[in-house]
Amino acid sequence: MYAQVFYATAFTSQSPKEVTVLKDCLFCIDDNGIIDRIVHPEDSDYTAILNTYKDNDAFEHIAEGSYLLPGFVDLHIHASQWAQAGTALDIPLHDWLSTYTFPSEAKFADVDYAKMVYEDVVDTLLANGTTTALYFATVHKEASVLLADICAKRGQRGLVGKVVMDLHEECPDFYRDLDTQMALKDTEDFILKVKEIAKTAKQGVYPVVTPRFIPTCSDEVLEGLGALAAKYDTHIQSHCSESDWAHQHVQQRFGKNDAQALHDFGLLQDKSVMAHSNFLSDEDAELFAETGSAIAHCPISNAYFANSVIPIAHFAKMGVDIGLGSDISGGFSPSLYDNSRQAVMSSRMLEDGVNSRVSPEERGVSNSRITIAEAFHLVTAGGGASLSLPIGRLKEGYAWDVQRIDTQIATAKLPLFDTAEPLLDVFQKMMYLVRPENIRDVWVQGQHVHSRK
Ligand SMILES: O=c1[nH]c(=O)c2nc[nH]c2[nH]1
pLDDT tens-place string over residues 131-188: 999 999 999 999 999 999 999 999 999 999 999 999 999 999 999 999 999 999 999 9
Q: Confidence band (pLDDT; 50, 70, 90) for 422? A: very high
Residues in a beta bridge with 321: 294
Q: Ligand 1 atom 1: the closest Cα is on which residue?
A: 330
Dihedral of CA atoms 126, 132, 134, 140 in degrees, nearest 10, equals 60
Which pLDDT score, from 0 to 100, does residue 453 have? 82
Amino acid letter, 83:
A
Atom number of ligand 1 nearest to Cα 327? 1
**Residue 73 Cα to ligand 1 middle (Å):** 19
Does ligand 1 come within 6 angstroms of the Cβ of 305?
A: yes
Q: Ligand 1 atom 9: the closest Cα is on which residue?
A: 239
Does ligand 1 come within 6 angstroms of the Cβ of 78?
A: yes
Does ligand 1 come within 6 angstroms of the Cβ of 247?
A: no
Q: How far is CA 274 from the centre of its chain?
A: 11
Atom number of ligand 1 nearest to Cα 101? 5
Q: Where are the beta strands (DSSP E) in 16-123?
A: 18-29, 35-39, 59-61, 66-70, 72-78
Summarised one tens digit per residue, pLDDT across range 8-27 is 999 999 999 999 999 999 99
Of 27, 31, 32, 30, nearest to 61 by C-alpha is: 27
**Residue 301 Cα to ligand 1 middle (Å):** 9
Does ligand 1 come within 6 angstroms of the Cβ of 330?
A: yes
DSSP 8-state symbol, 242: -
Dihedral of CA atoms 336, 337, 341, 343 in degrees, nearest 10, equals 20
Asked whether residue 42 carries a pLDDT value surpassing 90, the answer given is yes
Threshold 0.95, pTM exceeds = yes
Q: Average pLDDT over the chain, rounded to whole?
A: 98
Does ligand 1 come within 6 angstroms of the Cβ of 239?
A: yes
Beta strands 66-70 and 59-61 are: unpaired
Mean pLDDT to the nearest integer, 319-332: 98
Under 8 Å between Cβ of 269 and 293: yes
Alpha-carbon distance 204 to 307, whole Å?
Answer: 36
Does ligand 1 come within 6 angstroms of the Cβ of 161?
A: no
Can you spell out the DSSP letters for 326-342? --BTTB----HHHHHHH
Best residue among 164, 213, 302 to mutate for probing ligand 1's pocket (most ligand atoms within 8 Å of CB) is 213
Of 288, 266, 268, 267, nearest to 279 by C-alpha is: 288
* 392 dihedral zone (left: phi>0; alpha: psi -120 to 50; beta): left
* 220 dihedral zone (left: phi>0; alpha: psi -120 to 50; beta): alpha
Residues 6+ apart with CB under 8 A from 51: none
Q: Ligand 1 atom 7: the closest Cα is on which residue?
A: 212
Q: What's the burial of 169, exposed, middle or buried (CB within 10 Å: 0-12/13-18/19+)?
A: exposed
Does ligand 1 come within 6 angstroms of the Cβ of 297?
A: no
Residues in a beta bridge with 205: 158
Angle at alpha carbon of residue 278, lines to 296 and 244, rounded to 5°: 135
Which pLDDT score, from 0 to 100, does residue 334 have? 98
Of 323, 402, 293, nearest to 10 by C-alpha is: 402
Alpha-carbon distance 316 to 318, whole Å?
Answer: 5
Cis bond before residue 272 (omega within 30° of 0) = no
